[in-house]
Amino acid sequence: MKDKVDMDEYLEALWYMKENNNMSKAKLVDAFGDDYKEEILQRLINEELITLLEDKKEVSFTEKGEALARRIVRAHRLAERLLFDAMGMSKDFEKGACEFEHTLTEELINSICTMLGHPKECPHGLPIPPGDCCLKAVKTVESSVMHLSDMRIGQSGRIAYINSGNDEEMHKLNGLQVRPGAIIKLHQTYPAYVVECEGANVAIDEDIAKNITVWRIQGSKSDAHKTEPSLTKQKKSLWCKIMGK
């Protein structure tokens, strides 16, 4: 088991390196410093998860290895999202997430992803690799968040997070206080979306509305009553599954 965790760590590190377009072995050794163990790299090669290229200086994923790394990173970043947004942990979420990534099953990962409304970025702003559930855009009744574009007119919600890779857009929304934690109320959806946030009315594009994910607010009309109990139940059962590893 210990070996598996170590191997996962290496795969994860390699994924980060891949995101930064630098998969040299030297970089990997550097990343782990004194903790670096050549034998783990060797095991990864033996299990056909990675190969070494160009005089054994460059590391490359095999198809199998890449899929596994992707799953680990996805689990890690989704777990961060879960702890950061849903549980409101702002400090130790990183540590918690590190433990999740080794234990979550594919099914569990997908249900967390669906519950969170298929987020695209972790709290640090790094991309979460999409899973099957994202591609199919699965929605379940238990989903406790929804996109702004799915809200009813007059409905309110607390912004969970905003899927945006565009810094300018983020700054602009942030300046208007349209940001995680803020309560927004949907006033209008056509010809443009108009939301009320912190006392100001703001008009936005549909594209942005799709990227804003909100928590349902309890008591905001009938369907909240329907979803709230099942939400807490699901959260709890998820939590039990996670903790009772």
Partner 1 sequence: MKQTDKTDKNVLILGLPNCGKSQIFSNLTGEYTLVANYPLSTINIKGAFCTVEGYCYNIIDTPGIYSLHIQSEEASMVREKILSGDVDIIVQCVDANHLKQSLSLTAELTQLSIPLVLVLNALDETARKGIWIDSKKLSYIVGVPVVESIAIKGVGTNRLKQAIETARLPKSPVIFGDVMESALSSIISFFPDSMRHRRANAIFTLLNDQYIEEHIEKIAGAKTLQDIKDTIADLKNRFQWNPAKLLSYTYSRWVDSVYDEIVKKQASAPQSFSENLAKYCRTPITGFPILIGIIIAVFFLVVEVADALTGFLEDLAWKPVEDYIKTVVIDRFWNDLLIGDYGVLSMGVAGAILTVLPILSVFYILYNILEDVGYIPNLTVLSKRIFSKIGLSGATILPMVLGFGCKTMATLTTKTLASKKERYIAIFLIAFAIPCAPQIGLSMSLLGKIGISAFFISFAILVLVEIITGLILNRIIKEDRTQVFIQMLPPIRMPNIKNIAKKTYYRLLEFLKEAFPVFILASLVLFTLDKTGILDALKVFLEPMVKGALGLPVDIVDALIVLLARREASVAIIAKMIEANMLDYVQSIVAVTLTTMFFPCVANVGSIIRMLGLRSAIVIVVVITISSVIVMTVANWCLRLVF
Which residues bind to partner 1, rule: CB under 8 A? Answer: 16, 20, 123-126, 166-177, 179-181, 187-188, 190-192, 194, 198-205, 207-208
First to last CA, the chain: 13
Q: Which residues, at least 6 apart from 86, have a Cβ–Cβ distance to it below 8 Å?
A: 116, 235
Q: How far is the CB of 121 from partner 1 (least distance, A)?
A: 8
Closer CB to partner 1, 45 or 194, in the complex: 194
Q: How far is the CB of 196 from partner 1 (least distance, A)?
A: 8
Closer CB to partner 1, 16 or 138, in the complex: 16
Q: How far is the CB of 143 from partner 1 (least distance, A)?
A: 24
Distances (CA, A) of 222 to 1, 31, 187, 196: 47, 52, 18, 21
Q: How far is the CB of 230 from partner 1 (least distance, A)?
A: 30
Closer CB to partner 1, 205 or 223, in the complex: 205
Q: Which of 145, 99, 92 is closest to 123 using CA atoms?
A: 92
Closer CB to partner 1, 172 or 235, in the complex: 172
Q: How far is the CB of 192 from partner 1 (least distance, A)?
A: 4
Closer CB to partner 1, 58 or 206, in the complex: 206
Report the C-alpha gap between 199 and 16 in whole angstroms: 41
Q: How far is the CB of 197 from partner 1 (least distance, A)?
A: 9
- Do 213 and 119 form a contact (C-beta atoms < 8 A)? yes
Q: How far is the CB of 147 from partner 1 (least distance, A)?
A: 16
Closer CB to partner 1, 20 or 222, in the complex: 20
- Do 214 and 148 form a contact (C-beta atoms < 8 A)? yes
Q: What is the crossing angle of helices 2-19 and 25-32, to 10°? A: 120
Closer CB to partner 1, 121 or 150, in the complex: 121
Report the C-alpha gap between 74 and 127 in whole angstroms: 9
